[in-house]
Amino acid sequence: MNQQKIQNPETPVAKTPQMNDRDFINDMLASEKYMTASYSTALNEASNQQIYTDLLAIFNETQNCQRDLYNVMFQKGWYSLEAAEQQKLQQEYQQFQGYSSQFPYSNNGMSQ
């Protein structure tokens, strides 16, 4: 199994006990991911429409910030991905295609 990394050239940072730019951005990214997950839970449980609307706006801002931080880390080579093998993608696709018959709604949103 040959896993190919997808990564930009890494921007060097000082290796010292003090936090560097990579450490700060990584910490912010982790915080944004946590907040996004928490806002998602709050949205699922919001019973008041105005609160839901406000939370949704905050969630969207948080999600956009998380994505911007991810993009910075990826561009600087501080965040890498592993390329998925085509065969593995096809297997996963087929597995989840089989699940679609179990969904309570069809493609047009109407109950079956």
Return the minimum-mean-pLDDT range out of 1-15, 18-32, 83-97.
Answer: 1-15
pLDDT in tens, 29-76: 999 999 999 999 999 999 999 999 999 999 999 999 999 999 999 999
46 lies in some domain = yes
In angstroms, rounded to a whole number, what is the distance separating the alpha carbons of residues 86 and 80?
A: 19
Residue-level pLDDT at 91:
87
Residue 2: pLDDT band with limits 50, 70, 90? low
Q: Given CA atoms 88, 94, 98, 100 in this order, what sign does their dihedral have?
A: positive
Coil, helix or strand at residue 81? strand
Assess contact for 6 and 81: CB atoms under 8 A. yes
pLDDT in tens, 85-111: 888 888 888 888 878 777 777 655 554
86 lies in some domain = no
23 lies in some domain = yes
Amino acid found at 79: Y
| Residue ranges making up the domain that contains 67 | 19-81
7 lies in some domain = no
How many structural domains are present in the chain?
1
